[in-house]
Amino acid sequence: MPIMDLLARNARNTPNETALVEINPQELESRGTTWREYSLVESSRMDSFRSEMTWAQFDEKANRFANFLLTRNVKRGDKIAILLMNGLEWLPIYFGILRAGAMAVPLNYRYTAGEIRYCLDLADADGLVFGPEFTGRVEDIADSIPRVRLRLYVGDDCPSFAEPYRAMVSFCSSRQPDIPVSEDEDAAIYFSSGTTGFPKAIVLRHRCLSHACLTEQKHHGQTKDDVFLCIPPLYHTGAKMHWFGSLLAGGRAVLLKGVKPEWILRAVSQEKCSIVWLLVPWAQDILDALDRGEFKLQDFDLSHWRLMHIGAQPVPPSLVKRWRKVFPHHAYDTNYGLSESTGPGCVHLGVENTDHVGAIGVPGYGWEAKIVDASRREVAPGDVGELAVRGPGVMREYYKDKKATAETLDADGWLYTGDMAQRRDGFIYLVDRKKDVIITGGENIYPVQIEDFLRAHPAVKDVAVIGLPDPRLGEIAAAVVEAKEGATVDAAALDAFCLPLPRYKRPRKFIFAPVPRNPTGKIEKPRLRQMYAGGSLVARQNELEG
């Protein structure tokens, strides 16, 4: 069943129940008040700080936008890009595009004007829906994207090079258009995170999206009574595909605009959230804020919170152990996935397997996994190789990139992830990205193993290990270390801390600096290599990426 039909079903069955809630604590702070003060003084008042939408309203908005697109001769397979911050408009626009038979093309809100143009060109976008935060960037490229004939602005004071979305859509029919869509048709183009260069355009079918709903619900058992707290950007597969479990169950979701630790806990408390998906930095920030005494757990009602799951990058076992000490009653799950597999869930730990923290887990619902060598032959248990997955969520192709598609997908439907992994005791453990492996004196070093080790140091907030050129060894491991707020640590102390590691794995250099991460929490290692290795590793990186 296409996901648009799930929305229609929820609108029929529970039309007046809340589907989405948007909370904007930053808007409160702009008035000079805090969320806590607002909760105590103005808890009954509804305004731009908190807004909500029922399933019937969600369905109606999607239909109106679909019908508007049809009046503008948007045809089956046309591509409409979305460049919006999280908010109540985002998902109805997404579903409206799909209901019109078109393809949705979500864009990263951090893209520069040049990157926006690059992605619009690569995807052959026919339309663009954007918000006020992006007016300047879109204006910079407005004259150089002639193919993008439809330009809709979501907000007040519409610029001259666009049309006002709300005014144009409000007069369109609220009836669902008669555009049958099959599960095998193309539904969306998502872009790879770009941590290894220019993003690739990933084509997902409707059945990819439908299976993501099933996978998420099977893994985490969402019911209609669950409330999902959604914090990550909706343009990314991770956030949206986790929400798909709530869509399938008909449960409520809360879109929180902001990642401050207190905001997260207050949203859980006031909205009675039961499921929260976090990125590693946010989980660390919550624990660190509690350690510093910025607030107390007793300040919040967290009794409904039953599941914390985490993913998007390797999860340090030390973090999970800290979390479970503070939140012993939480079920916990680690989720592995990539945009090419329709987001998270092709491998997951499972709430019943928390005794295997450190593993990414086992193949997810409907998925298969194997670990292969350079010749794509399966390796023996315990050996390191490349992780490959197969299942209903595998992408159709990289759009307009046959070479990259052939390198990533084989004729039997296996997707080669570029992640190095090993299988131990029936569980898959992520070792590192294939392109991040450091070769020092002929030995392979997998940075994630060193990063996990260093994060156990009480003064370390975050760490990224990269290769630096060395005339004798080829490369050496260097650790970029970000200390916790108020903590001090030096190279000598970390050197001593690393003595239990094999000598060849010990970092030869420590750099004390912030660790940059993209919006989905992944460390931006190409950026770090450029900053600290300069052009010396360009040839090496090109070789790995080739």
Q: What is the 3-state secondary structure (H, E, C) of 451-519?
A: HHHHHCCCCEEEEEEEEEEECCCEEEEEEEEEECCCCCCCHHHHHHHCCCCCHHHCCCEEEECCCCECC
Alpha helices (runs of H) in 170-236, residue ranges in sequence order: 206-220
User: According to the model, what pLDDT value does residue 415 have?
Assistant: 97
Q: Tens digit of pLDDT per residue, the chain (546 long)?
A: 899 999 999 999 999 999 999 999 988 888 777 787 766 555 444 466 899 999 999 999 999 999 999 999 999 999 999 999 999 999 999 999 999 999 999 998 888 899 899 999 999 999 999 999 999 999 999 999 999 999 999 999 999 999 999 999 999 999 999 999 999 999 999 998 654 457 899 999 999 999 999 999 999 999 999 999 999 899 988 888 999 999 999 999 999 999 999 999 999 999 999 999 988 878 988 999 999 999 999 999 999 999 999 876 667 788 888 999 999 999 999 988 989 999 889 999 999 998 898 899 999 999 999 999 999 999 999 999 999 999 999 999 999 999 999 999 999 999 999 888 999 999 999 886 777 888 776 677 878 889 989 988 999 999 999 988 887 677 889 999 999 988 989 999 999 999 988 888 899 999 999 998 876 677 888 788 888 876 443 333 333 333
Please tell me the distance from the alpha carbon of residue 313 to that of residue 536, in angstroms, as a whole number: 27
How far apart, in whole angstroms, are the C-alpha atoms of residue 419 and residue 347? 12
**Non-local CB neighbours of 538 within 8 Å, separated by 6+ positions:** none
- The pTM for the full model equals 0.84
Which residues make Cβ contacts (< 8 Å) with residue 166, sequence separation at least 6? 154
Could you tell me the residue ranges of all domains in the chain? Answer: 437-545
Asked if residue 528 lies in contact with residue 464, where contact means CB atoms within 8 angstroms, the answer is: yes
SS3 content of the chain, % helix, strand, coil (to 5): 35, 25, 35
Any idea of the CA torsion for 53, 339, 307, 291, to the nearest 10 degrees?
-100
Q: Which of 166, 164, 227 is nearest to 23 (CA)?
A: 227
Q: Contact 433/529 with Cβ under 8 angstroms? A: no
Contact 110, 233 (CB under 8 A): no
Rounded Cα–Cα distance for residues 476 and 509 (Å): 8
CB atoms within 10 A of CB 230: 24
Residue 89 one-letter amino acid: E
A 10 A CB-CB count for 29 gives 15
Give which of 442, 430, 433 is closest to 465, Cα–Cα. 433
Element (H, E) at 287: helix 280-291
Cα distance between residue 183 and residue 160, in whole Å: 38
Write the Ramachandran bin of 455: left for phi over 0, alpha for psi from -120 to 50, otherwise beta.
alpha
**175, amino acid identity:** R
| Residues near 191 by beta carbon (within 8 Å), at least 6 away in sequence | 106, 107, 108, 119, 199, 200, 201, 202, 339
Shortest CA distance to 229 belongs to which of 164, 300, 181?
300
Question: Can you name the CATH fold of 437-545?
Answer: GMP Synthetase; Chain A, domain 3 (3.30.300)
Nearest to 198 by CA among 400, 387, 345: 400
Residue type, 94: Y
Q: What pLDDT does residue 541 have?
A: 37
Cα distance between residue 339 and residue 330, in whole Å: 27
Which conformational region is residue 342 in: left (phi greater than 0), alpha (psi within -120 to 50 degrees), or beta? left
| Helix, strand, or coil (residue 290) | helix
- What was the pLDDT predicted at 314? 66
d(CA 178, CA 8): 13
Q: What token pair was written down for 161?
A: 């090079």
Using the 8-state DSSP alphabet, how is residue 176 labeled? P
Measured CA to CA, the distance from residue 502 to residue 440 in angstroms comes to 13
CB atoms within 10 A of CB 517: 19
Query: Can you give the pLDDT at residue 194?
Result: 52
Of 205, 239, 334, 353, which is closest to residue 280 (Cα–Cα)? Answer: 334
